Structures are given as C-alpha cells and as structure tokens.
Structure 1
Amino acid sequence: MGSVDDTIGELRESDRAYLQHVVDVVRAARTDTEDGWSYGLPALLLEGKPLVAVAAAAKHLSLYPFSSAVIDAVALSLGGFSLSRGTIRFSAANPLPDAVVREIVRLRSLEITGE
C-alpha cells in the first residue's frame, strides 16, 4: 500500500469506503499513477506531478484536482456541490458522479502531459 491507501485506511468506515471508491475510479482512468504527497495531502501523481488528492474533514470529503481550470470545466456537472478554486467538497451521502471524476482525471492529465 502507498500513502493514499494508508491514509484512507485510517479514516472512519463511512468516509473510507467512498474515498477509496474515488481513488479506485482515478486509478482505473489513469493506470500509470503512483502514490505521493502534495501540499501535505496524500496524492496520486502523474509523471511526478500531482494529479488529484483526497481528504476527509469533519463535515465533508474533498477532492483536490490541483487546478482551478479543471474545477471550472466540470462546475456545471457539479450543481449542489461546494466548490472553491482548488477543492470539490462532497459526502458519501452525496457522492461525486464517477463520470465527473473520470473527466477531472482526463482534464488534469492533459494539463500535466499535454496529451
């Protein structure tokens, strides 16, 4: 296990199961990621650069795509979710759609690799 799985494994069950699902969707969409850290968060890296990170807070879960442009690009698909320049907040009761997670991975991958 790497830093992402280890960190998720320490969370309460309700958060752990859904964050693991999000990470699994990211890894399926981009099989060449590796675990690492970015800005103090456990992150999936692509070519050594942060692709996405996930975290749990007291009242929400977060996905960090490390790009306000990516968040802007998917914002219309995320009505009802709390968004900021660098964070998408959600919960296991109100999960992110898998298709949106895959689109975030696709767009962020383009920023990193240009392809």
Structure 2
Amino acid sequence: MKPGRDGQPAKTVDEYLAALPAGQRAVLEHLRAAIRAAAPEAEELISYRIPTYKYHGSLVHFAAFRDHCSLIVVSRPILEKFASDLEGYRASGTTIRFTAEHPLPPTIVDAIVRARVEENEARAERRS
C-alpha cells in the first residue's frame, strides 16, 4: 500500500497511482481501466488505503506492494470459479497476486469483475 505523493495516505485512486513506480503504475492503470469497463456503475474510492470499487457492496480492490500487485476479488467462490484461468498466478483466499512483468490479462479481469457484479446484484435482490 502506497501513500500519496506528500507522504499522507492517498485520498483518490489518481493520487494512489501517481505515487507508484512507473511499472506498477502502468499495470494498475490497465487494471483500473478493465475494472471500470466491466463495472461502469461501480463507485471508485479509497478504502483501507487501497483503490476500491463498490457496487451493491464491496466489489473488488487492488493494491501495490514492494514485490507484487494484488487484485482482491472479495469472494472465494468467484476466485475458485476462475482458478483454471489463473494458473501461473499466486492466488489464495480472495486475492490474486501478479507483477508488472506478468500482469493479469484484461479478459480475465473483465470476466471476474462481471461475475462479481452478478453476485452482488443477486445478493441485493435477495435482500430486497
């Protein structure tokens, strides 16, 4: 998790990304674009000091660390559903780890985020 440029926690996703090294920034900008394309109605914010997307509740998060980046999909069943597509990546719990040199393909991100949207919509409908 990175601070904003002034050493304080980032208040926006743009600030979060601006504080990253170029390689991580580029891969996470592509990830951000894929998430936004798959879930255009999702709210983008910083929560727990990392970029977060909400749509009928928590949708996905991403973060940069010293040696890797992570996509947190929030749902074990979704991660398990896409396990075969994630061979070659470290995935456990609800987190997929990847690097700037081996980023997640946009098609996988799209499928995961759309599945999360469907999951959250179904949960919201059940609660209504």
Partner of 1:54, secondary structure, is strand
Which stretches in structure 1 are left out of the alignment for 5+ residues? none
1:31 correspondence with 2:40: yes
The equivalent residue for 1:12 is 21
1:101 correspondence with 2:109: yes
Q: Superposed, which structure 2 residues align to 1:49-64 within 5 Å?
A: 49-64=57-72
Partner of 2:100, secondary structure, is coil
**Partners of 1:44 and 1:28 in 2: CA distance:** 12
Counterpart of 1:88 in structure 2: which amino acid?
I
Instruction: Give me the TM-score of the superposition, normalised by structure 2.
Output: 0.81
Partner of 1:28, secondary structure, is helix
**Partners of 2:36 and 2:107 in 1: CA distance:** 13
**Partners of 2:106 and 2:37 in 1: CA distance:** 11
**Partners of 2:48 and 2:116 in 1: CA distance:** 17
Counterpart of 1:82 in structure 2: which amino acid?
R
Q: Which of 60, 74, 86 does residue 66 from structure 1 map onto? A: 74
The equivalent residue for 2:53 is 44
For residues 63-105 of structure 1, the C-alpha deviation after alignment (integer angstroms, 9 at most, x for no partner) is 0011111111111001110001111000111111111101111
Which has the larger displacement, 37-46 or 58-67? Answer: 37-46
% identical equivalent positions: 36
How far off is 1:8 after superposition?
Answer: 1.6
Q: Which has the larger radius of gyration?
A: 2
**Partners of 1:33 and 1:53 in 2: CA distance:** 12
> How big is the alpha-carbon RMSD for the aligned residues of Structure 1 and Structure 2?
1.6
The equivalent residue for 1:78 is 86
Instruction: Give me the TM-score of the superposition, normalised by structure 1.
Output: 0.89
